[in-house]
Structure 1
């Protein structure tokens, strides 16, 4: 035990602590004051804004400046994200450091945006520092975004987001189309209801004088009398004049609106009987002049489909040279099959292209299709109407979406279109 009065010999006098110099780099501990940092673009060393923190510390605790130790950290030397710095007293008063953190958040913020590159800037009361945009910060942000993206994908967030985007696009389309004209439904056009005036006109035509000429088509030289038009009444067989005039109207409809309908050619009811005669057999020369450029204004090879009405004694069927899909089709409302008809048409198409275009077409790989998925008839008089509507729908590019129940309506509509000399 030291003798009294000699304390200075064993216990040196307490001296006030000296101001410490700034040291760098220094590791950062897991507690202490969170102070925003400033990072200069490029590979410059990040500098912590410690001056404001020290001033706040002095105001709050009223202690001398040299009582605290500050450390500057090089953020590029560490892999862990650095967004805080330790500022503690020599006697480890952590509570004072926490109080300083709360005060510093009031003084320093990261809520300003650099107008040049959109990056955040550190702003205090006195000055605005440079933008926080270093390569290391970008790399860490990118890695964090990738981790979040993988987690969102695992939770099905991507599908949810896509559905939300689709819903937004649909709402935007409906909004921008409010002032546009409504889009016509192509499938509803063949079933447009007739007006009272049109129904009355057809009824009056059926009941007119038997030999009256109702309409005359100049280009085809076809006259339709009351007697011929009456074949469109329920239960009647269609005749050649009504069928051939309707096919002419279908071709005129295409010429009137070429973008709306397929490019087709419609042979009349006499073509196949000329091409294949029961006495002489196949004879291309009998129909060679039917398709000259002077008469048609186009070549058959340039068409999408070629329609050939087939009359078999008392039954109408349809054959199609489907150039667009490279196949020969046969449509019979009784679902019959006639391979010899398609064989003859394949031979005809080869001869026609060689004669008009001087090109040899190989149709050996073209398919022969006897269409089975088609509307059927159950009576003995609607075959002609079925054949006309097969051509009507196919030339529109539509499936055969009608039934035998529509035949009564189609008969009246066809009569109306013939009386107006305009197919719709």
Structure 2
């Protein structure tokens, strides 16, 4: 990390923090988002309840809670984010698009034939990809079992390069994951017709060169790698700026709210109603919520007071706080 990035990182951590559930973040959170956060992180409700459903994957409350601070991420969070980004890309009306594969694509790539069968059975090409000539970049998240670490392959179609985005690059040395050649061979088979019809002789995924991106920010702990991977998929340009500073709680909360409150979550409206009901029901009786409200920063407490005024007629218990 450069000295300027270190200095900014220190100043960021010295800034006043706003409490949002278990997160201490730089910017304040809206009252409606606070209700969602409270419902997910401050309740003793069913751990198996599905709180995010996006296209082909879903997240339970238990899985989403792995986004709480200083916690290793459940890999399904990354796959659901891939689903969400895929839906967003497909809504583009024109131009090239990016592809975001779920993490189980790389997980099954140890065996080429098995992975091809798996990809065809689960319609990977139809569900996560499209016509090859329309793809600009392909993002493939990977989990390294030996290092217990998530990182990312970024395939650049025009440059025919695979970039390795690894937030713990030093721990990997110079070796390249043995699954990468398999994944490239699998893509050649899945897109055999496209390649023959639209690309010059000799073009193949297997011929892509491999490069380690030198500007990838590096994590300083052992639990943020999955959140880094999501950040790399969401905002690669921002993440590689010299002055970018990764703030763990802020990035984790951003992912939580993108998944819960995004328009790709088919549970969104039902979840908001449940969060509102839980807020009204628990505000007057839940001791942990009382403590949480007492510890709020002034700005957030003012927002909460506004909510009390709005909802006091509905739930008189709010006036007792």
Which structure would you say has the larger RCO, counting Cα contacts within 8 Å and 6 or more residues apart?
Answer: 2
Structure 1 segments unaligned to the other structure (5+ residues): 1-190
- The answer for unaligned runs of 5 or more in structure 2 is 1-25, 265-321
1:349: which partner in 2? 187
- 1:73-95 CA distance string (max 9 Å, x none): xxxxxxxxxxxxxxxxxxxxxxx
Residue equivalent to 1:412: 253
In the TM superposition, 1:8-23 aligns within 5 A as none
Deviation at 1:290, TM superposition (A): 4.5
Q: Deviations over 1:326-351 (max 9, x none)?
A: 21111111113442343333323322
Larger-gyration structure (1/2): 1
- Residues 239-278 of structure 1: pairs in structure 2 closer than 5 A: 239-258=74-93, 263-277=97-111
- Compared with structure 1, are the counterparts of its residues 296 and 311 closer, same or farther at alpha carbon in structure 2 (3 Å cutoff)? closer
Q: What's the RMSD between the two structures over aligned residues?
A: 3.2
Deviation at 1:274, TM superposition (A): 1.6
Partner residue, 1:287: 119
Runs of 4+ more than 6 Å apart: none
Q: Does the residue aligned with 2:181 lie in a helix, a strand or coil?
A: helix
Matched-pair contact (CA < 8 Å) for 2:96–2:134: no
Quick check: 1:309–1:317 contact (8 Å CA) kept in 2? yes
Count residues in correspondence. 228
What are the equivalent positions in structure 2 for 1:263-342 lying under 5 Å apart?
Answer: 263-277=97-111, 283-291=115-123, 294-295=126-127, 298-313=130-145, 314-335=148-169, 336=172, 337-339=174-176, 340-342=178-180
Could you tell me the TM-score, scaled by structure 2's length?
0.60
When residues 256 and 363 of structure 1 are mapped into structure 2, their CA distance, relative to the original with a 3 A threshold, is closer
In 1, Cα distance between equivalents of 2:206 and 2:66? 40
* CA gap 1:293/1:320 in 2 versus in 1, 3 angstroms: closer
More helix by share: 2
CA shift in 2, pair 1:404/1:297, >3 Å: closer
- Give the deviation of 1:216 after TM superposition: 4.2
Shift of 1:325: 2.6
Question: 1:254 and 1:363 mapped to 2: Cα distance?
Answer: 22
Secondary structure of 1:287's counterpart equals helix
Instruction: Report how far residue 283 of structure 1 moved.
Output: 4.9
The CA distance in 1 between the partners of 2:224 and 2:124, in whole Å, is 34
Give the match's secondary structure for 1:205.
helix
Alignment CA distance shift 1:234-1:216 (3 Å): closer
Q: Give the Cα separation in 2 of the matches to 1:276 and 1:329.
A: 20
Shift of 1:393: 1.5
> C-alpha separation between the residues in 1 aligned to 2:127 and 2:205?
26
Q: How far did residue 194 of structure 1 move?
A: 4.1
